[in-house]
Amino acid sequence: MTHSIDIATSLDGFITTPESSLDWLNNIPNPDNSDCGFAEFMTDIDAVVMGRKTFEVVANFGP
């Protein structure tokens, strides 16, 4: 049995700004628009736990 965990957090315990923004993610150059293996990683995940405000932002990302 393999176990995986991926934790996204900042020093203050949040991944979004106080305005519920993830704009800081765009500060990292990504000319190929790579998801860095995230989609493949998610195919093996059975459950995702996140806060409501983060979910509201992420739910608008699209496919």
- Could you list the pLDDT tens digit for every one of the 63 residues in the chain? 777 777 777 777 777 778 877 787 778 888 998 888 888 888 888 888 888 877 887 787 766
Predicted pLDDT at 63: 63
* Nearest-angstrom CA–CA distance, 9 and 24: 13
Global confidence as pTM: 0.51
Predicted pLDDT at 36: 82
